Chains A and B, each alone.
Chain A
């Protein structure tokens, strides 16, 4: 048997501090002395009770399991429609929609810049027609849909509302989430279009619209996962989305709304897993996040409503933790990520797939990740008791230390001028690039152990997993659909609604009604975005490393 590396210099026969894979120093065991100030009511509270450390609902998963989603969406709306029906038949309870990059960047499928990417990483949506066909036969009041969409989120939301209207569903019955988090796009994911200021105003518009018309819809899913995949530490993976969420909240507060009109419409997308995963720390970090958010809403924003103080989060992403070597090992990794998320009281999960390092996941890989969720949810007793690790000396000590670290990091960024300033001048991007590079060096030196990669390697035969292939006809099919919609629609109407959209953008009033009108007139995503570009201009690319 291989001996475990004594990683700590102070380690005397294993009794000193040990540095974990995430750089935290831990003792060989924890006892009551490590949590001297643990006051049950003040620090924990029962599940469903302030400060919600133990979960946001009294019965947690007994009442309702987390929503099981797997990211899906391929090529055209018809293909995606059948994929959705397949997933719903398999027992999935919510849909998580992947959109192709042109849709995310406001390019129509016939745009020359779009040609390599149409239908590749998700479904191509050009007009309302595509959205109608995608949800054909799927009643929108019976499901919840999560859209991974950011700079064009307002347009996609308007299309979802218009589709509901056509199905005869009252928009106020819609449930789901739009990601709609632009700040992390500038930091990590790259699908920004407009400069920060109008982008944040547009997010304010969608939140305001949801407050008034579709109150059960999460109008923003503030994301920590992408920045963690991009090099953020577990602490930054909570601190930055919190600062971001607060920036969006403030955008709406200055329009005359109260904190309790807005806060409950935000949800978060946080990481449990990935390249810097540590089972107990990931659980503690999410518990700490829940407590800190509750306190901030109550003490700093003077919220009166428990709904505002309850941190709702999904867990997902984490593809960066998947290895190309010995790919079946990834199924074990995914299971631990999911277990951490469940033990931390996540509201929704979408897991990575074991073939992530090879290509876009296949049906089999997606199904396996869904089965992992179902095994944890139905087979092994995890949901029976809320927050089963609550009261563990170790987990509570970690929870306390994460809460402090997250606060310190938030204060540091605020002292540098705030999250937006640090993104605009590239401070955060540079820092994450440095951190990601350090992690890579540790992986290569073996200082950070990755089984099958730098330890327990085998000579692998040149294996090839089955790879998901996108229908090669996608581009031509989608372009001819678009052409047909354009031929059938009322051109004069389209011109009128686009002119109105431009006028609203100049006046800086809420854009959602004009976007809805444009969507109903079958204006394309590209036409709407180009109209807004005329007013807002485009964001600068920062290439700091």
Chain B
């Protein structure tokens, strides 16, 4: 079994929207839960997010999207992840996501979607459980 290491998370803000209060709150919450967290800052392209994710060998990419652009952004990003063979990186989305789009995002390979009613605790537990299971399977 692999040695337990601290979970590494990249919080990313793709697209042009600059409202990043939520991204920063989640980044701080994960850090308080003992994870190592990198925040990209705003206006990131898919390529830039992937580059950082690879460089920092993160376990999780958390995308914060409030501007209604989640479907096209995630489609492009997940496509690039497949090409880079980043199968083990967990991708999560948080933000203003209409419920009807949650299934479509999951079909693209997004592991979970956290909408405005989600709590920090739910996000932390989901990451710990899912990353833990993945590590145990390797």
Q: Are B98 and A101 in contact (CB under 8 A)?
A: no
B73 to chain A: which residues have CB within 8 Å?
Answer: 116
Q: Are B116 and A543 in contact (CB under 8 A)?
A: no
A470 CB within 8 Å of chain B:
yes
Known: A105-B16, A453-B117. A437 touches B29 (CB 8 A): yes
| Chain A residues touching B, majority SS | loop
A357 CB within 8 Å of chain B:
yes
Q: Are B28 and A433 in contact (CB under 8 A)?
A: yes
A543 to chain B: which residues have CB within 8 Å?
Answer: 39-42
Q: Are A464 and B21 in contact (CB under 8 A)?
A: no
CA distance A441 to B124 in the complex (A): 14
CB < 8 Å neighbour of A357 from B17, B24, B42, B116: B116
Closest B residue to A540 by CB, please name it.
B41
CB < 8 Å neighbour of B24 from A105, A323, A433: A433
CA distance A189 to B18 in the complex (A): 5
B20 to chain A: which residues have CB within 8 Å?
Answer: 190
CB < 8 Å neighbour of A444 from B17, B68, B120: B120
Instruction: Kindly identify, within residues 1 to 56 of chain B, every residue whose CB is under 8 Å from any CB belonging to chain A.
Output: 15-21, 23-25, 27-29, 39-43, 45
B24 to chain A: which residues have CB within 8 Å?
Answer: 433, 436-437, 545
Q: Are B121 and A101 in contact (CB under 8 A)?
A: no
Q: Are A190 and B42 in contact (CB under 8 A)?
A: yes
A506 CB within 8 Å of chain B:
no
B137 CB within 8 Å of chain A:
no
CA distance A533 to B98 in the complex (A): 37
A191 CB within 8 Å of chain B:
yes
Known: A116-B73, A436-B25, A444-B121. A358 touches B16 (CB 8 A): no
A358-378 interface code vs B (CB 8 A; 1 in, 0 out) = 111000000000000000000
Q: Are A325 and B117 in contact (CB under 8 A)?
A: yes
CA distance A207 to B98 in the complex (A): 40
Contact size range, B: 20 to 34
A229 CB within 8 Å of chain B:
yes
Q: Are A324 and B19 in contact (CB under 8 A)?
A: no
Q: Are B17 and A440 in contact (CB under 8 A)?
A: no
CA distance A105 to B43 in the complex (A): 11
CA distance A426 to B15 in the complex (A): 22
Known: A121-B68, A541-B42. A444 touches B21 (CB 8 A): no
Question: In angstroms, how far is the closest chain B Cβ from the Cβ of A479?
Answer: 15
A120 CB within 8 Å of chain B:
yes
How many residues belonging to A are interface residues under a CB distance threshold of 8 Å?
45
A352 CB within 8 Å of chain B:
no
Q: Are A185 and B117 in contact (CB under 8 A)?
A: no
Question: In angstroms, how far is the closest chain A Cβ from the Cβ of B39?
Answer: 5
Known: A359-B98, A464-B99. A470 touches B21 (CB 8 A): no
Closest A residue to B24 by CB, please name it.
A545
CB < 8 Å neighbour of B69 from A116, A191, A453: A116
Known: A323-B116, A437-B28, A467-B98. A189 touches B19 (CB 8 A): yes
CA distance A230 to B21 in the complex (A): 6
Known: A324-B116, A541-B42. A462 touches B99 (CB 8 A): yes
CA distance A291 to B4 in the complex (A): 59
Q: Are B121 and A464 in contact (CB under 8 A)?
A: no
| Chain B residues touching A, majority SS | loop
Question: In angstroms, how far is the closest chain B Cβ from the Cβ of A366?
Answer: 16
A464 to chain B: which residues have CB within 8 Å?
Answer: 98-100
Q: Are A185 and B116 in contact (CB under 8 A)?
A: no
Instruction: Kindly identify, within residues 169 to 189 of chain A, every residue whose CB is under 8 Å from any CB belonging to chain B.
Output: 185, 188-189
Q: Are A358 and B69 in contact (CB under 8 A)?
A: no
B43 to chain A: which residues have CB within 8 Å?
Answer: 190, 541
CA distance A208 to B135 in the complex (A): 62
CA distance A343 to B39 in the complex (A): 41
Q: Are B17 and A101 in contact (CB under 8 A)?
A: yes
Closest A residue to B42 by CB, please name it.
A190
A101 to chain B: which residues have CB within 8 Å?
Answer: 15-17, 67
Known: A324-B116, A359-B98, A464-B99. A545 touches B27 (CB 8 A): yes
Known: A436-B24, A437-B28, A464-B99. A359 touches B68 (CB 8 A): yes
CA distance A323 to B118 in the complex (A): 11
A316 CB within 8 Å of chain B:
no
CA distance A358 to B117 in the complex (A): 10
Q: Are B40 and A433 in contact (CB under 8 A)?
A: no
CA distance A72 to B115 in the complex (A): 24
CA distance A101 to B68 in the complex (A): 12
Q: Are A117 and B41 in contact (CB under 8 A)?
A: no
Chain A residues proximal to chain B, CB less than 8 Å:
101-102, 104-105, 107, 113-117, 120-121, 185, 188-191, 229-231, 320, 323-325, 357-360, 432-434, 436-437, 440-441, 444, 453, 462, 464, 467, 470, 541-543, 545
6 extra interchain contacts, Cβ-Cβ under 8 A, other than A113-B45, A188-B19? A117-B16, A230-B19, A433-B28, A436-B21, A545-B23, A545-B28
Give 14 pairs: A residue, B residue, CB < 8 Å, sorted on A: A101-B17, A101-B67, A104-B16, A105-B16, A117-B69, A121-B68, A188-B21, A357-B117, A358-B96, A432-B21, A436-B24, A453-B117, A464-B99, A542-B41
